[in-house]
Every structure is written in C-alpha cells, then in structure tokens.
Amino acid sequence: MENYMNENFFEVKAKHSPIEVLQKWRNLCGVVKNPKRRFRFTANLSKRGEAAAMRKSNQEKLRIAVLVSKAAFHFMEGVPAGDYVVPEEVKAGGFEICADELGSIVEGHDVKKLKFHGGVDGIARKLLTCTTNGLTSDNELLKRRQEIFGINKFAEAQARSFLVFVWEALQDMTLMILAVCAFVSLIVGIAMEGWPEGAHDGLGIVASILLVVFVTATSDYRQSLQFRDLDKEKKKISIQVIRNGYRQKMSIYDLLPGDVVHLSIGDQVPADGLFFSGFSVLIDESSLTGESEPVIVNTENPFLLSGTKVQDGSCKMMITTVGMRTQWGKLMATLSEGGDDETPLQVKLNGVATFIGKIGLAFAVVTFAVLVQGLFTRKLREGTHWSWSGDDALEMLEFFAIAVTIVVVAVPEGLPLAVTLSLAFAMKKMMNDKALVRHLAACETMGSATSICSDKTGTLTTNHMTVVKSCICMNVKDVDRQNTASSFSSGIPDSAVKLLLQSIFNNSGGEVVVNKEGKFEILGSPTEAALLEFGLFLGGDFQGERQTSKLIKVEPFNSTKKRMGVVLELPQGGLRAHTKGASEIILAACNKVINSNGEVVPLDEATNDHLNATINRFASEALRTLCLAYMELENGFSPNDSIPLSGYTCLGIVGIKDPVRPGVKESVAICRSAGITVRMVTGDNINTAKAIARECGILTDDGIAIEGPDFREKSQEELLELIPKIQVMARSSPLDKHTLVKQLRTTFDEVVAVTGDGTNDAPALHEADIGLAMGIAGTEVAKESADVIILDDNFSTIVTVAKWGRSVYINIQKFVQFQLTVNVVALIVNFSSACLTGNAPLTAVQLLWVNMIMDTLGALALATEPPTDELMKRSPVGRRGNFISNVMWRNILGQSLYQFIVIWYLQVQGKALFQLNGPDSDLILNTLIFNSFVFCQVFNEISSRDMEKINVFKGILDNYVFVAVLSSTALFQILIIEYLGTYASTSPLTLSQWFFSVFIGFLGMPIAAALKMVPVSSS
C-alpha cells in the first residue's frame, strides 16, 4: 500500500501543487461511492482555469488602455470635449457623474475623459466629496451614494441549506443501490407475505439509509458553517480613511465612491480610484493581470485598480468604483468558487480509500458469487433448481444487499472527509486561540514543523516602543518622562533641538492627529510612534512643523535599505535632506557631527568610536537603536533624483525599549522539548538581537549569531556546516531570510515555519512550508502570502498552532487506525463466513449501522480530540514520516486478529456455548455476533484515543463529543437489539448474553494495552 501511495498520491504538496498533479490523483480516484461528497473540499480546477483566463484578458485590456491613454495624452490639445449626459437618477441623487463613467475612466486609463471632467478635483466635486476632509457621515447621503454607486463587496456563492447536504449524502452510489434493493424487497415481500410482515426487511434497509444520510448531512452541514465563519474572518481587512476631516480605520467593505484613503507600502488597493498626492508610488498589478513589472503611479498616471498592491511609497487616493463594477470584484467572484487546494493528508487518505475500495469490491463480488453458488448447490441437492419461489428471490436479493453493504463498509469513504472534519474543528478552535488559518493544509503541515524562523519585533517582543535613551550632541541621557522637556533639553543647544524636531516630524511615516474627542492620537508603526512621542515630549508641534517646510521627496523605509529619507524645501529657501535608520548604516553615511556646543564639526575617528560604542552599549541593553542625520542640498536637486546616501551630519542616536513578551521564554523551551528549533531572524543590530535572544532562551552557548551581510558571503560548503548552528541572524535582508528558509527546506529537508509582517517578507512566507503573518503589524501583502495569520502577533500563539497541527495529524491517525480495524474485521468475517458456511452473520441493515459507527460517528469522536501538552514532548514527524506508521499497523493487525478469532469462535461454537436450540437459534447467534462486534468497536474506539500509551482514559471527560458519541452508540445498540429486531434481523438477548457481548468488547482493551508494549521500529 505504501508503494502504491508513494507512486500515485505523494506528489501533492501542502503549497503550490501544479494543476496536472491535482488532476492526476482525481483521475486515479475515478470510481467513488459519492463524488459530490468526496470532492466537496477540493479545488475546483475548472473555475481556476476561468480565473486564469480572466487575468490574461485583464492584462491585454490594461495594456491596450495604457497605450491608448499615452496616445491620447499627446493629442489631447485641440480635441473637442466628449459628450456626457448625466443619467436622471444620478442627478436626482445630487451627483454629476455616474458609476459607469467613473469605471470607464479608471479601468480604461482614460486621460482624456479625466481631463474633460476637471481632473481629480473635478470628479471630487461631482461626487460631492473633498480631497482634504473626505466624505461627511450624513447617513441619508451615504445611503443614496450606496444605492447609486453600489457597495464594495463581490458576489459570493449562496450558502447551501441543510437539505442540499441531505441531497448530496443521498448521491452515494451504494446507498442508491441499497435503496433499489429495499424497494424490490418491499414489493416482493408484500406480494408474498402481505402488509406489514412482508415489509420489515425493506423498511429496515430504508430506515438505515435515512439514518446514515441524516447523520452524514448534519456532520457536513456543521462543517460548512464552521468554514463559512472562518471565511468571514479571512475577509476582515481595514484601511485608513478620512471622513468628516478625521483619519480613522474602516473596513474596506464600507468604502464608497468619494472616500479618501491613505495607502502605504504593503497595502492592498481596496477599490478602483485616483491618486491625488503621494511619493514614490510603485504598484504591483500581478494579482489582477499576471504582469510582474511594477507600475509607477503619479499625477500623470493616477489610475489605481482594486486588488493591486502598493510595492513602494505612500499616497492618498479617492475611491471611484467599488465592488462588482471593478475587474477585481469579478475576478474574486470566480476565484471564490475555485476553492482551497486539497491538503496532502486528504489526498493520501483518498489514496488509501481507493486502494482498500478496490480490495473491498473484489471481496464483495467473490462473496456474492459464493453465496449465490451456495443457493444453487442447495437447490440442486434438493432438486428444485427449475422452480424458483419468492423466498428464493428475496434470498438472492439479500445476498446482493450483503455484497453491496460489504462495499459500503469496506470502502473507507470517511477517511478523507475525517481530515476535513478534524481541520474544520481545529481551525475553529485556533481562531479562539488568536490564529486564523487561511489555507487548510497549513493546519496539518504545522504539526510536522521542525524549524521556526521568527521575527523579533512584535513577535518575541511586545511592539510597545518608547524612547528611553538618547545621545544628542554627544550627550548620552536617559529619557525620563517624569522630568520636564526643559530639564531634558538643558545642555542641548536650541539649534540642535530645532533640527531634531524637524527631522522627527517630517521624516516620518506616522502622523499626529486630533481625534473626535479632541485629543492627540499618534498613527503609524510602533517605531514611528515612539519617535513622534519623543518629539512631542521635547515640546514639538507636529502640524506646525509640517506646515513650516514643504516636502519635495519621500523615500519610505523598507527592510532592504534599512533607512528612510525626505527632502524639504525650507521656508527661508534652500533644500535639506533628513535620513534615519539602522544606526551603524546611517553613522557610516555621516562625515560630520553636531558637538555639545551645537557646532557642526568633522566626524573624526575618536568621535566615531565614541558613537559606535554608544550604539553597542544601547544594543547590549536590548534597545533598538536609530540614528538621525541631515544634510544641506544644493538647489539643483530634482524630485526625480535619489536622495544622497552619504555626506550627512549626525544629529543623534536614540535607544528604543521594546520589552520581551511574557511567556516567550517558556514557549521557546516547549518548542525545544518538541524537537522544534527556533531561530530569530531580524533586521536589528546584532547586539540588540543577541540580548533579546538570550532573554528569550533562543541563543544558547553552542549557538551562533550572524549578520546578514556575512551570511550572504558564505559558500555552499560553509553554509552546510554553519546553518544547523545559526540561532540568530541580525541585520538580515528579505533575501537572506528567503535563502535561509530555502536552504533549511531543500538541503536539510526540514519543515519550516516562518513569520513575517512586511511586504518584503512575502517571498520567504511563500517559500516556507508554513507562512505565518502578523495580524496587527502585518501588511496585506504579507497576510496574502501567508498560510496562517497570528492575530495577536504573539510567539506563544505560534506554539499553540504547532500543538493544534500535531493534534490534527495524531487525531486523523487515531481515526484511520480505528476505521481500518473495523474495515478489516467486517470484511474478513462476512467473506469467510459466506465462503465457509454459505451465509453472512451481519445483514445489510447491521452493516450500515456498523458503517455509521466507524465513519461519521467515529470521525466525530476521534478527529475532534483537543490537543494535550504531551503532544509537545514528542519529536516532530518531519517531511518523510509515514502516515500509517508501524505502530498503527501493529495495533490494527493485533486488534483485528483478536476480534476475528472471537467472532469466528462464536460462529463455530456459539450455539453450544449458550445452548441455543430451536428455530430462533441462528437469529440469536447472529444477534450475539453482531452485538459483540459492535461492542468490540466501542471499546476499540476508547483504546484508539492513544496509539502508544496504555492509559487511554486521561482527559476523556474533557471531550464531550467523544462521550456523547460513545453513549449514543451504546444506547442505540440497545434499542436495535431489544426493540427494532423486526427491521434489523435481531432478537432480544438475555442478561448473561448482554454481559458476554460487552465483556468480549471490553477484553479488547487489555489486549490493546498489551499490544502497545510490543516494540516496533519507527521506520
């Protein structure tokens, strides 16, 4: 079986499997009992093809639109204005432009139409909005705007009702065949014996089918509700919007044409719109068009398309077109029907189900042939082979029903669906634990993780930053907020404080705004917020400083350059550049410094050493260090020029405190005991990184801390020796992170989880087996590349994800072990009995009940076990572990052998053992066999709670689903035996017979415990 699986089903990966590979395994599973149910949670490949075609079409449309707009730009002068008539309903709403016209301007990149409507300002007037204050929150006007222009949501497939799931459960081919058998049985039975005696067998099968269908549909419907809730969470995206003159966070689904939106690096453009102010904006349109080359957006090319990503820069845009009127809305409506990729476990278990199904089908055919041959032999012996009665027809029908039911039991259709059930349950619980799973496969892959590469800031630390130390004009001071700004500034020349405030407030990606309550609020990343707070502490005025100078150019911070820069036009004339970033990089770009007297002096070796020593001292105290510098520029500087990289004057160095999160050290220790290596990969100073890593327990005495530039220089041979020892990588670029992840995955065959929050982390998140994006600090680009979003940005949550991943993997193994045991025993018992005695002890109705115990109910009981701390004391499965392990085979074969021996003994010696005589002796014996078999499964279900430990009762009462399934199985079994015998072909049992049946089942538990003591190799 392992060889069959390896050859046909192991090509499907957790991420980025080619369409051909996904199609291949589907073809191998061509004949299944219920394709609608089996393939419900797999990707819709035809819809994906449609989405790819739509992207190609978009690419061609945009290419033509750009060419036309360029041509129009050259020949616009002298061209008469186009005719545009405002529709009456739009006029009645108070607007002067309709949604279709707006759509044609942006989607068509129509510069001519844009100019005709008066540019961005003209369209803003026609939309009754203002580029400074945004829309007003007048509910009546917002409602009118919504009616005329639509809402920013794309059409989604309607949620399926419970009856749809009932209908799909009825599509099971074997159940349909059994339904036909039941119908024929009813007709023949009633014709021969009359109503109601002749209808019992047929009605028994019908009732069993309905029970199976409704239990299956209920389970599937609950799963669909869980997935729907998770989909809602995935779509929660917020963006910065100006309304009523106030900047605020808002859901992208509440945006309307006329809204003014702030975009920064890593954001997704939430709707079609027009750029009207900003710097260095590069847009990645690949998600919409498949085109990888970024597009420059500025006043000459102001068109922004929904679903595209901001690759660099920042800007303000005005929304013009929303929802299904945009190409992105149409594309998303198609993509949403494409579904998630199937997970490797789903595919493997589809393979197992197919393999065993073929064996089951062969057994069923042989069983039917043997039973029919037995009937013919008997009739030949009796000399009645030419005369056939209704009883003979009913007996033949029963043989056929038994053969079909063997297929029902033998084909473990529930295996791949148990994966989905377990994943749905785990994803819902993980949501409560602050982890949002975007891709199903990540849930199970995380259980095999052997390595975690974690960011420092915000993941291992709290991300609540404050400036606690500074070195300004060569004076090192503690920033004590108990003291006044004047006492802190004493000893620092006024000219230097003024330059410092100009640098802090202008060279910033954050803002200080007045909120609705009239209080100051700082917006921006934690680092920017810490600096702005420091500027306010020094007595600075953010708005006043911003209005004094004019911004000429902005180069936003990114993790490759590790610096940010701006160029200002000063009120008295002249240009000044400010820069800030990684201390050693900015200091290396300086050749002058402001001394304690406020004078600009050359940066000599002694001063440089003093500043470097200060940086190292701050860093060794686990502080993030930033250096601020400026330079005067010549008037020949153009906004198209790059900001200079050297020749600066050092203004000062600040040390920012970002405390380690509580519980991180314990979480790292748990990972170590679980065989998971934790590495810190950060852009920070190496001394800061080492101090934090030691505090977290990541950096040990035998571990190595390395800087990104050094790592880049190493040869492949050196990396082979170095990578296993690396515990900290500081001053790393996104490329370094990507290289480390790729080496760990390919060269060392590790299963790697990676955290990321920035746009540049996307390649590493994409490369990793599990990409973990930060929910608070993460950009939309990072989140979209990730498999799991850590909603609280906490490292401890990553450990919880690993624990749930292991739980999913182990739970499915438990269920597979349980189901294969039932499969093997039911198959061999009915087959061997048919061959040797000419009849089957388990009837169609009984086998359907057994099928429900092992399929839907078994999955509910075993696949929803919550994780335990014990899971994190095992070694990880890794990339090469066999899913059906030797431990499982030992348990399956041992338990199957015990059950088969017991049931076979009952069949041979049961009558003598219980002194059964008379016409009902066969019925009572078969009831005893059926009852013993069911209780063997009940107790085997308990034994399957742990595949290796003897104590299987630990925490059993914590899983109410397990207790409920077990209780209902036992209760319903009593009802079947004692009260439903007419329909289920059973007879009420005596107290001693009940005791014997339950004892036989219970005896399987000590045998299972004994089996667990038999050592087996892991490979």
Say how far apart CA 845 and CA 983 lie, in whole Å.
8
Tell which residue, 769, 773, 795, 792, has the closest CA to residue 782.
773
Say how far apart CA 814 and CA 151 lie, in whole Å.
47
Tell which residue, 683, 766, 782, 773, has the closest CA to residue 267.
782
C-beta of residue 624 within 8 angstroms of C-beta of residue 658: yes
CB crowding 979-991: b at 16 or more within 10 Å, else e: ebbebbbbbebee
CA angle 367, 182, 37 (to 5 degrees): 80
Name the amino acid, one letter, at 44. N
For 765, the token pair is 């998140």
C-beta of residue 290 within 8 angstroms of C-beta of residue 117: no
Q: Three-class SS of residue 75?
A: coil
Tell which residue, 895, 882, 893, has the closest CA to residue 952.
895
Say how far apart CA 848 and CA 211 lie, in whole Å.
9
DSSP code per residue over 736-756 = HHHHHHHHHHHTS---EEEEE
Q: Three-class SS of residue 569?
A: strand
Name the amino acid, one letter, at 297. V
Find the DSSP H helices in 337-413. 344-382, 390-410
Q: Three-class SS of residue 85?
A: coil
Residue 752 backbone dihedrals phi, psi, to 5 degrees: -110, 130
Q: How far is CA 237 from CA 251, 263, 754, in A?
A: 6, 13, 22
Choosing from 455, 736, 761, 769, which is the catalytic residue? Answer: 455
CA angle 719, 453, 813 (to 5 degrees): 110
The number of angstroms, rounded, from the C-alpha of 619 to the middle of its chain's C-alpha atoms is 36
For 422, the token pair is 């377990």
Say how far apart CA 545 and CA 500 lie, in whole Å.
11
Find the DSSP H helices in 662-794. 664-673, 686-696, 708-713, 716-722, 734-746, 762-767, 780-785
For 745, the token pair is 């995955």
Residue with tokens 């291992």: 460
Longest Cα–Cα distance of the chain, Å, equals 125
Say how far apart CA 686 and CA 700 lie, in whole Å.
15
Q: Tell me 135's DSSP state.
A: B
Pairing of strands 563-569, 550-558: antiparallel
Find the DSSP H helices in 136-234. 139-149, 162-169, 173-193, 200-234
Tell which residue, 740, 804, 711, 694, has the closest CA to residue 453.
740
Query: How many CB atoms within 10 Å of residue 922?
Result: 15
Query: How many CB atoms within 10 Å of residue 161?
Result: 11
Q: Tell me 653's DSSP state.
A: E
Active site residue 494: no
Q: Per the omega criterion (within 30 degrees of 0), is the bond before 196 cis?
A: yes
C-beta of residue 190 within 8 angstroms of C-beta of residue 390: no
Residue 566 backbone dihedrals phi, psi, to 5 degrees: -135, 160
Say how far apart CA 820 and CA 411 lie, in whole Å.
10
Say how far apart CA 612 and CA 349 lie, in whole Å.
59
Q: What are the residue numbers of the active site?
A: 455
